Structure 1
Amino acid sequence: MAPVLNIVGAGHVGRALGRLFHAHGVFAVQDVLTRSEASAQAAAAFIGAGRALADMAAMRPAAVWMLAVSDDRIGELAHQLAASCTLRDAVVFHCSGAKASAELAPMRAAGASVASVHPVRSFADPQQVAAAFAGTFCGVEGDAGALALLNPAFEAIGARMVAIDAAAKTVYHAASVFASNYLTTVLDAALRAYQAAGIPFDVARELARPLANETLANVFRLGPEAALSGPIARGDTATVARQQAAVTDWNPATGALYEALATATWDLARRKHGEQ
């Protein structure tokens, strides 16, 4: 018999993982709790299993509890669940990349073993994620008892588990923000700068596409130092200064972004050339 799973919070992450656990027979989805009965019903329908709930007091005991809620709600819900639900000998985990398993301390005090499991990918389209989850890396840390159950459970749905240092959880999550969110911001700056030079958006996107794709491919194939090219890699300080002034004159906020990125890129260039 698959262990019984309760899901607290069933947005994109909770729905995708719930569907995967159900479809692979890893866990038996029991109760699905969200802020409204309508959203809980929609989540249970997406998952294909589970009783939709909007009342925490109605949740039944379970062997496993997944908290798939926003970072800021984890601590609050941990206190509420510890006070209202039977948790002795249960495994509880949250899916936050920014918060460590210590956020679940009240539930540990109530007898549960706790962990965090963070899938490193975008969940903007939960249906697509559920269909193509295999190979997804998951950063994991927590109690040994919890990990003994969760590691094979996630591996059964195709995850690749990576142990992380709980004390560095915020820096770990910042790494994903750099690789995803801030990359998007930098590309947005490039597209806006092309448009400022009179290039239509659709053409600007096609201009940037090969540069971005080739650069990403080179970073992952060769490493950042070898992949770095352009005026800073060549030591062309005059060109960088002219660009800094021109971008700042065009858009001060983007100029500040350019300056910050240039400072970091000079450091990368020094590593490229073997300097300390």
Structure 2
Amino acid sequence: MARTLNLIGAGHVGRVLGRLFAATGAFALQDVLTRSQAGAQDAVGFVRVGRAVPSMDRMRSADVWMLAVGDDQIGPVCAQLARCQPLQGAIVFHCSGARSAAELAPATQAGALVASVHPIRSFADPAQVAQHFGGTFCGVEGDCAALAVLTPALEAIGAQPVPIDAQAKTVYHAASVFASNYLVTVLDAALRAYQAAGVPEPVARALAQPLASESMANVFRLGAAAALSGPIARGDMDTVARQQAALAAWDGPTGALYAALVAPTADLARRKMDDNGKDKT
């Protein structure tokens, strides 16, 4: 018999994991609780199994509890769970990338094993993610006994669990922000700068796409230092200064963003020079 699973919080992440755990038989999903009964019923429709419940005290006991709630709600929801439900010997885990399993201290005090599981991808389209979840990396940390149960369950849905240092959880999550959110911000600056030079927005995207795509491909193929090109990599700091001044005159925040990236890019260029100077024999 598969271990039973209850889901608290049924946003995009909770729905996708709930559907996949249930569909593969990794866990037997029982009850779903979210902010409203209608929301819970909608989530059950997506997951295709389970029972929508109106309150935590109406949930059945379970072997595993998934808290797919907002970061600021993990502690309060866990405390409420510990008050409402018997947790001795159960597994309680959350899905935050920014908070560690230590946020689940009330569950630990109630005798539960705790962990965190953070899928490293965008969940903007839950149906699409559920269909193509295979290969998704998941940062995991927490009690070894909890991970001994959660790791094979994640592997059953096609995930690739990656152990991370709980003490560096915030830095770990910031890495995902750099790789996804801030990348979009930088590309937006590029598109707006093209448009400031008279290039229509659709053409600006066409101009930026090969540069961005090739640069990212080179980073993942060669490493960041080897992939770096452009004026800083060439040591052309006069061009950098002119660009920074022009951007600052055009749009202050964009100029500040450019300026903030000069020093780390110069450091990357030095690493590239050091790598090029190493004996490859």
Alpha carbon RMSD of aligned pairs, Å?
0.8
1:195 and 2:195 aligned: yes
1:42, distance to aligned residue in structure 2 (A): 0.3
Q: Which residue of 2 aligns with 1:115?
A: 115
Q: Which residue of 2 aligns with 1:154?
A: 154
1:176 and 2:150 aligned: no
Moved over 6 A (4+): none
Q: Runs of 5+ in structure 1 lacking a partner?
A: none
Q: Which residue of 1 aligns with 2:138?
A: 138
Distance (Å, rounded) in 2 between the aligned partners of 1:76 and 1:200: 49
Q: Which residue of 2 aligns with 1:31?
A: 31
1:208, distance to aligned residue in structure 2 (A): 0.3
1:124 and 2:124 aligned: yes
TM-score by length of 2: 0.97
Count of residue pairs the alignment pairs up: 275
Q: Which residue of 2 aligns with 1:48?
A: 48
1:60, distance to aligned residue in structure 2 (A): 1.1
Identical counterparts, % of pairs = 69
Distance (Å, rounded) in 2 between the aligned partners of 1:75 and 1:251: 41
Q: Which residue of 2 aligns with 1:221?
A: 221
Distance (Å, rounded) in 2 between the aligned partners of 1:97 and 1:130: 19
Q: Which residue of 2 aligns with 1:252?
A: 252
Q: Residue type of the partner of 2:120?
A: V
Look up the SS of the partner of 2:274 in the other structure.
coil
Q: Which residue of 1 aligns with 2:262?
A: 262
Distance (Å, rounded) in 2 between the aligned partners of 1:86 and 1:244: 60
Distance (Å, rounded) in 1 between the aligned partners of 2:255 and 2:79: 45
* Cα deviations by residue, 1:105-153 (Å, 9 ceiling, x for unpaired): 1001101000001000001111011100010000000001101100000
Look up the SS of the partner of 1:65 in the other structure.
strand
Q: Residue type of the partner of 1:253?
A: P
* Cα deviations by residue, 1:163-190 (Å, 9 ceiling, x for unpaired): 0000000000000000000000000000
1:54, distance to aligned residue in structure 2 (A): 2.7
1:86, distance to aligned residue in structure 2 (A): 1.1
Q: Runs of 5+ in structure 2 lacking a partner?
A: 276-281
Q: Residue type of the partner of 2:80?
A: Q
Q: Residue type of the partner of 2:121?
A: R
Distance (Å, rounded) in 2 between the aligned partners of 1:14 and 1:54: 17
